[in-house]
Chains A and B, each alone.
Chain A
Amino acid sequence: MNQYLGSLFFYAFSCSAVLVYGIGLEKAVFESRQGSRFYAQFPGIIAETLASTAALWFLITEVLSPYGAVYLAPMAIVLVCGIFHVLVSLFVRAPKTPVTGERLFFFGTVFLATSEASSFTEAMLISIACVLSFYIVTVMLFAVRERMNASRIPADWRGTPLILVTMGLFCLVLYTPDISWWFTEVISR
């Protein structure tokens, strides 16, 4: 149980799929703008990610891997994810124009989950952690933008430069529990 929780926290925080792997990073930056309804996409994103990871895990481990055709996995991921994306969009209201960033985040999450996991449960947990990581970073960036709008910042630093520097700070902050004496020594006892 602890091992699974560890995987979830590892990919959601200390080795954030968004900040360390860059999966969905540009989507998080765009979605953190005012007027975005990123939270409304959550049911659709989580449903298609979990369904695709489950389907692909069995396809890769039971079909492609035994026949030595693992090199076909990336194409299979795009195809299966595409099918689930279309299926989910039938039930969840989707944007009128197809959004490349959304598809890339979805493909990347499934790709990371199927390539890094050692078991089916771990693959599902990595998928959930990636989606969580995306929402955590998006909410934090949304807060940073709000703060930036209310502050007097030099014009050249406003927007992308400060967002990138802030993401560097997020990287450090999210990694802190892994190396902090307080977490490793005091809380574990």
Chain B
Amino acid sequence: MKNNTVAFLFALCPLVPAVVRLAYGIVLAVAFLWFLLTGLGIRELVRKLRPDDAGPYIEMVGIAASATLFTLALQWLCPILSVSLGLYVYLTAFSFIILVSIDYGSLKNGLFIPVLPFIPMLLAFSVIRELLGFGTVSIPTITGILEFTVIPGFEFWGLGFWGTAAGAFFLLGVAAWLIKFRQRKAFAARRQA
């Protein structure tokens, strides 16, 4: 992995339209954990089969199958949320693959470790967007989502722009700047010490 920060930001990009609420973020975080578990199993299977060049394709078919299983489980547990999220569960699978192979190598060279720190980042991003875009915090339920108003009077002075894809890119840009700023400061402090 060349740069974890860049990998995290770009893995988040396919999910920008979906993680507009914490409820969606929680479902997609569970999807990520599911892909991590099944991904480890599929990789072990591929390693034992030794299919050479066909390996990455077999692995991707396996991840597509696990995304389908997750979608079926979501339709059974939270039917309304499964309609709202639609094809974003499959885009989460793409995001997972980006995360484990952002170095532009094949999946053979990918690492699963970055998936775990990515999940809190996904949840934090969805909380910030929901607070800035709607003034609420939500959790998934069988009948859809349950909203809690955190910022009262949001409909009068709130800016829904932060809930849009454009707003999300601005937030990601600011997050990337903050991370870079912190890294530079830490590097300078280490050099002085």
The secondary-structure label for the interface of chain A is: helix
Q: How far is the CB of B85 from chain A (nearest CB, A)?
A: 13
Which chain B residues numbered 137 to 193 have a C-beta less than 8 Å away from chain A?
Answer: 164-170, 172-174, 176-177, 180-181, 184
The residues of A with any CB-CB pair to B shorter than 8 Å are 19-23, 25-26, 29-30, 71-72, 74-75, 77-79, 82, 97-101, 103-104, 107-108, 111-112, 115, 155-157, 159-165, 167-169, 171-172, 175
Smallest beta-carbon distance A58→chain B, Å: 19
- Please indicate the chain A residues that have their CB under 8 angstroms from the CB of B11 in the complex: 26
Partner-A contacts on B (CB < 8 A): 5-6, 9-11, 13-17, 53, 56-57, 60-61, 64-65, 67-68, 71-72, 87, 90-91, 94-95, 97-98, 101-102, 104-107, 110, 164-170, 172-174, 176-177, 180-181, 184
* A155 close to B10 (CB less than 8 A): no
Q: Is there contact, CB below 8 Å, between B56 and A160?
A: no
Q: Which residues of the other chain, A, contact B5 by a CB distance below 8 angstroms?
A: 160
New contact pairs (9) apart from A74-B90, A79-B57, A171-B165, CB-CB < 8 Å: A19-B165, A26-B102, A72-B68, A74-B68, A100-B106, A156-B177, A159-B180, A160-B176, A164-B170
A108 to B95 Cα, complex, angstroms? 11
Supposing A25-B10, A30-B104 touch, asked if A168 and B61 sit within 8 A by C-beta, the answer is: no
In the bound assembly, the distance between CA atoms of A128 and B165 in angstroms comes to 22
Whether B165 pairs with A107 at a CB distance below 8 angstroms is no
Chain A residues in 8 Å Cβ range of B184? 155-156
Closest to B53 in A: A98
Whether B68 contacts A71 by the Cβ 8 Å rule is yes
With A29-B10, A160-B6: A100-B97 Cβ-Cβ less than 8 Å: yes
B13, B72, B105: the one contacting A26 at CB < 8 Å is B13
Closest chain B CB from A147 CB (angstroms): 16
> Do A104 and B90 touch (CB < 8 A)?
no
- B94 and chain A: residue at smallest CB distance: A104
Listed A/B pairs (17) with beta-carbon separation below 8 Å = A22-B13, A22-B91, A71-B68, A71-B71, A71-B72, A77-B64, A78-B60, A100-B104, A100-B106, A103-B56, A108-B14, A112-B87, A157-B177, A161-B174, A161-B180, A168-B167, A168-B173
Q: A25-B14, A156-B177, A161-B180 are in contact. Are A104 and B97 (CB under 8 A)?
A: yes
CB-nearest residue of chain B to A23: B14
Are B176 and A22 closer than 8 Å at their CB atoms? no
Contact A97 B169 (CB under 8 A): no
Decide: A164 and B169 in contact? CB cutoff 8 A: yes
Shortest beta-carbon contacts, A-B, top 7: A168-B169, A22-B14, A165-B173, A164-B173, A171-B166, A26-B10, A161-B177
Chain A residues whose CB sits within 8 angstroms of the CB of B165 once the complex forms? 19-20, 168, 171
B105 and A97 contacting across the interface, CB-CB below 8 Å: yes
Q: What residue of chain B has the Cβ atom nearest to residue A25's Cβ?
A: B13
- Other-chain residue from B16, B71, B94 in contact with A108 (beta carbon distance below 8 A): B94
A29–B101 CA distance with the chains assembled, in angstroms = 15
With A and B bound together, what is the CA distance between A25 and B94 in angstroms?
11
Q: A101–B98 contact, CB under 8 A?
A: yes
Q: How far is the CA of A160 from the CA of B169 in the complex (A)?
A: 11
For A23, list chain B residues within 8 Å (CB): 14, 91, 94
Known contacts: A161-B174, A164-B169. The answer to whether A100 contacts B107 by CB under 8 A is yes
Partner of A100, one of B6, B9, B64, B101: B101
A104 touches B98 (CB 8 A): yes
- Would you give the shortest CB distance from A63 to chain B, in whole angstroms? 17
